[in-house]
Structure 1
């Protein structure tokens, strides 16, 4: 980092991040301004920003969100989310903590089968309706679901986008993730439930009158368009199957989501304008700006220099290297989105695996995956699911502040990453 562009890129990124933290301007405006400055100083250019897989906008993420937002927009018109909200509340006997536990478990399990972004797009509308019916503050429930989505997404290859990058680079299979990370993910989900009982304890206020009103409702009456519901669920089932069969079909999730959205609009009576009106355009713009800013750090060599310093610090010590990679990944994934971070770290981790473990041991890959996935819970911009939920909350006039999220996220990240460190030590250096 000897040239002025590298230091300028660092200054732009740090300045933008400070503005986002301070909430002095809207985060979308800050991200787009930061991206514009990166382009202005030529830390990156149009070719890298818009076409590079390594340092440009990750269009797979953007179009995955676009397609799923359109599908969710159509499903909202059927009354399905009202149905699910009433059903969930009645099963939990309208007790606030039981409702949160149910939503956490549903989110964690669904995030292992789908990707975590798709899961929060589906579960957030239900949560908004549940909290409205019971008179509960929605922010704690949404934050808990973000944590659950990132923890549950750790379990499988398709659960979190960084896992797909790691699997491709390391030659890992869907079953490898199930064997090595799914048990830990299940434990961490239970831990999250315990933490939520403590962190959000002031939010579990039981309103007997509202509870009785919801318990008296008939959920089937919430369905407004049964035919559109059947069509929407059929398309959603096909899309989910496409996600799960990614290792076989080799269609990117973005392609599957766009095909599903187009099919649903084509075969149903839903208007294209109605489906597009539900798209969180500010969220997509924020992602684009964030990707371009991180791309500027990649193009100027800042991230590779930091990553190389990490590699030099690890040396030939596998246990120490695993711990350092785990914690460093958790820290950096809280600062930059974990997708570009993992994309940058993957080739360096590959070299470390060859040099430290002789290429036969995958413990360093699991350390990278756990650090990146769980570290994404630390801040609102640490993972894609976080940004999506913040956009949904803002659109529904219940904005989540940067520090409001982070004060809980840091606790959950510290606990889950700490337990993961113990898991790595016990699983790969004691029992093995």
Structure 2
């Protein structure tokens, strides 16, 4: 998470229109690329090698799940700190070099909010409603839940979206006697795709918008159209990816069909107060680029107000906090900081950009596919923050329209890379934690095999879009 892009409110729609000028396209395709200025001095090799080895070994243990993933990241983070690969106290105080407390406190605040709202029975109400609307048909239910996720993700942080949808999903699947795992996986994949549509929908977009001076309207014009195409393509892909999990139990649906959903609400007055606070929190999220109030502060304030106005049972809502998930994030941030501080990510980025040559389309291609691959392994938030200055350097050497095309290529790759593995995006890790608590654990490879298929499909679509819109 980063500070809001206060300078990124100008509308570039007029400039975007000039991109279609054939003369400008021809000049852009054939003009030689200016020579890059000399980069920073090479970093010391041994710290970079040590950080890479520690990260790779930890990632292997996370993937094989032979050791608890929280123990793995804490051990790896401690080893990096012991060897001096992360800069001392900066681990606790620096966005760039350590733990991103904005993400931690956003998660904590939303976990409290979800824990309080859960006490009203509204998740059970929505579960019964969803089961009745889908008539118990598994794929129809998935399309309904994924559609709700897709509508919310462009306007809410992905973590917030999945934390609100996941409890409903688990409840409805229990009602119908089916596994919630494929539905939870589909929702988080859909959230990462749909969140790419707007400036505030995905954390990498906030970072990119701030660095490149791109406004909310810029993202709507350039990202929303292709996001819709990718989302629809994912709905079709999900029909085939999860086809073996679509079990229809007519007798279970018959039991749910005649239920009164409203009877599931245990405290209507408390629910009303919760909804008022929740709406205010959502408004705060949407306006944070205007007010300058970070979304983590909004989440914490909303959690505090909700607890006060509802007088909820503290033992019950604190029990809903995913402490292992928060701890996993702490360790993961330090691990990635080790790669950042020793120059590993920057060196990879410079190697990739140095291989571009004189073709701007080759550069855009590298940003789409390279970001999708690297973002799948390094968590796309710190990856985007690290690569943004490198992309800015490349874009500054192009004409303004080509420069924007490179930024959109970077945004698409970073956003879509969040689906690549189970640890590639914050929303993925949160859903794995929720599933484990619900007694339906999702393994690293169970998520990742679906994530890879989704990433390949959507990245190819995104690459085709970049070529057609900006270079063809």
Larger radius of gyration: 2
Shift of residue 336, structure 1, vs aligned partner: 1.1
CA contact (8 A) 1:330 1:374 kept: yes
- Could you report, residue by residue, the CA deviation over 1:244-297 in whole angstroms, capped at 9, with x for unpaired residues? 111211111101000000111112121333322211011111111111001011
Match of 2:329 among 287, 312, 316: 287
Aligned to 1:199: 241
Give the Cα–Cα distance (whole angstroms) in 2 for the partners of residues 286 and 62 of structure 1. 10
In the alignment, structure 1 segments of 5+ residues that lack a partner are: none
SS at match of 1:154: helix
Give the Cα–Cα distance (whole angstroms) in 1 for the partners of residues 159 and 377 of structure 2. 19
Give the Cα–Cα distance (whole angstroms) in 2 for the partners of residues 361 and 300 of structure 1. 28
Q: How does 1:119-130 map to 2 (within 5 A)?
A: 119-130=161-172
The question of 1:85 aligning with 2:127 is answered yes
SS at match of 1:263: helix
Match of 1:361 among 392, 403, 415: 403
The question of 1:397 aligning with 2:439 is answered yes
CA contact (8 A) 2:99 2:333 kept: yes
Give the Cα–Cα distance (whole angstroms) in 1 for the partners of residues 258 and 48 of structure 2. 62
Match of 2:464 among 388, 400, 422: 422
Aligned to 1:71: 113
SS at match of 1:258: helix
Match of 1:118 among 152, 160, 170: 160
Shift of residue 6, structure 1, vs aligned partner: 1.4
SS at match of 1:314: coil
Q: How does 1:317-356 map to 2 (within 5 A)?
A: 317-356=359-398
Aligned to 1:31: 73
Aligned to 1:172: 214
CA contact (8 A) 1:105 1:189 kept: no
Give the Cα–Cα distance (whole angstroms) in 1 for the partners of residues 358 and 221 of structure 2. 26
Q: How does 1:50-61 map to 2 (within 5 A)?
A: 50-61=92-103
TM-score, scaled to structure 1: 0.98
Worse overlay, 301-310 or 409-418: 301-310
Match of 2:229 among 184, 187, 202: 187
Aligned residues: 430
Give the Cα–Cα distance (whole angstroms) in 2 for the partners of residues 165 and 327 of structure 1. 19
Shift of residue 358, structure 1, vs aligned partner: 5.0
In the alignment, structure 2 segments of 5+ residues that lack a partner are: 1-42
Cα RMSD, aligned residues only: 1.1
Aligned to 1:307: 349
Give the Cα–Cα distance (whole angstroms) in 1 for the partners of residues 116 and 445 of structure 2. 33
